[in-house]
Amino acid sequence: MRCGLRLAWPVSACQTGAIKDEYAKKYWSSVSASMLTLFMSITGGVDWEFAMEPLMGRPDPLAAVCLIIYITITCFAIVNVVTANFCSTAMESTAADKDLATMKQLQKHSSQVNDLQNLFHDIVGNYEDNEVSIRDFKAALSSPKFAGFLESMSISTEDVGVLFTFMDTDRSGLVDLDEFVNGCLNLHGPAKSLQRLEKPRRHVQLWLFLA
């Protein structure tokens, strides 16, 4: 506003004598009209070519020069600063959304780990070794709670042998708490993941048979 006022005064000062030009009367007849013209020139309210036309024919070119300087500074400096601020705000908002999504994912992962640990303790019961055999695993799958939770994680329970073998990473024939939790988290996804695991197991069994 201050810059527009300083530019409007010399523009208005150039209007000496009777004003016969239509554009001069419309855009530069007073200080308030000049300030409105400057505002419209940078916001698309008027094409500043029309505002410049009555100033070009004046003996003193100061008003036209002031208008050009005003348009240049406003368009290439102030507008760029405002645009940069908007872009910076948008980038910060996107980064905040990513951080929030990461936090939610971590919370979901922590909740799943806690639920899996509680589920494993339900299977183990009062056993002191905190390990389950494939027989215990099959028995646990008969429970709607256990089978339903695995299905909710998109873990297929169609082939218990493949599922148990995948979890039994040390090939001890028993699955402990860490193996159970890690196995479920690794299998968390489409149900066809077990189908992909079943093929390598059959190949190994065939190789052992032929050997």
DSSP string, 134-174: HHHHHHHHTSHHHHHHHHHTT---S-HHHHHHHH-TT-SS-
pLDDT of residue 140: 85
177 vs 27, higher pLDDT: 177
- Do residues 145 and 192 lie in contact, with contact meaning Cβ atoms separated by under 8 Å? no
pLDDT of residue 128: 59
pLDDT in tens, 92-135: 888 878 878 888 888 888 888 888 888 888 887 755 567 888 88
pLDDT of residue 209: 40
Q: Does the pLDDT of residue 19 top 60, yes or no?
A: no
- Do residues 40 and 21 lie in contact, with contact meaning Cβ atoms separated by under 8 Å? no
Q: Of all helices (H) and strands (E), which one includes residue 93?
A: helix 79-124
Mean of the per-residue pLDDT values for the chain?
75
Domain positions in the chain are 2-81, 125-210
pLDDT of residue 34: 80
Q: Which two tokens stand for residue 6?
A: 């300083």
CATH of 125-210, picked from 1.10.3470, 1.25.40, 1.10.10, 1.10.238, is 1.10.238
Length of the chain: 211
pLDDT in tens, 47-71: 877 887 777 766 567 777 888 888 8
Q: Does the pLDDT of residue 192 top 70, yes or no?
A: no
Claim: this prediction has a pTM higher than 0.95: no
pLDDT in tens, 2-14: 544 544 544 454 4
- Exposed e or buried b per residue across 125-150, where buried means at least 16 C-beta atoms within 10 angstroms of its C-beta: eeeeeebbebebbeebbeeeebeebb
Contacts of 134 (CB under 8 A, 6+ apart): 160, 161, 164, 173
